[in-house]
Amino acid sequence: MSITCFIEYEINPFKHTEFEQYAKNWGKIIPQCGGNLIGYFLPHEGDNKRAYGLITFDSLADYERYRQRLKSDKDAVENFQFAQQTQIILHEKRYFLKGVPDTLKFDSGDV
């Protein structure tokens, strides 16, 4: 059974461009470290300080291995530093979800 890590960000509403660069950087890093990136989502209308990232894993154990790889990945470390230096992320929450069968448009192998 796969799980999805749903990341909810409270971002600086005046730094959407910087957050978009941060997200684009993860587009390369996450697959290198073992995650299946569904995507990052920026505010378009309404609340301008919420952004989201969704990453799937085959199991919670795979997520834990992924987190370990991030700590030693040069590009990941640089991206974390970029976020700190630019102060684009004000708060972050992570939720771990499982998909409801027969409602998903894809499975984790399609991502």
Q: Check: pTM over 0.85? Answer yes or no.
A: yes
Q: What are phi and psi of 42, to 5 degrees?
A: -100, 160
Structure confidence at residue 47 (pLDDT): 87
Residue 40: the pLDDT is 97
Q: Which of 73, 96, 57, 62 is nearest to 25 (CA)?
A: 73
Residue in this structure with the two tokens 């894993």, named with its chain if needed:
57
| Location of structure tokens 């030693």 | 72
Residue 93 has pLDDT above 50, yes or no: yes
Question: Which pLDDT tens digit goes with each residue over 43-73?
Answer: 998 889 999 999 999 999 999 999 999 999 9
Domain residue extents for the chain: 3-94
Beta-bridge mates of residue 40: 53
Q: Look at residues 37, 22, 26, 7 and name the one whose alpha carbon lies nearest to residue 88.
A: 22
- CATH assignment of 3-94, among 3.90.1150.10, 3.90.550.50, 3.30.70.100, 3.30.2130.10: 3.30.70.100
Query: Looking at 1-111, which runs of residues are DSSP E strands?
Result: 3-11, 36-41, 50-57, 89-97
Tens digit of each residue's pLDDT (9 = 90 or more) over 10-25:
999 999 999 999 999 9
Instruction: Give the list of residues 6+ apart from residue 73 with CB closer than 8 angstroms, or none.
Output: 29, 32, 33
**pLDDT on residue 107:** 52
Contact 37, 27 (CB under 8 A): yes
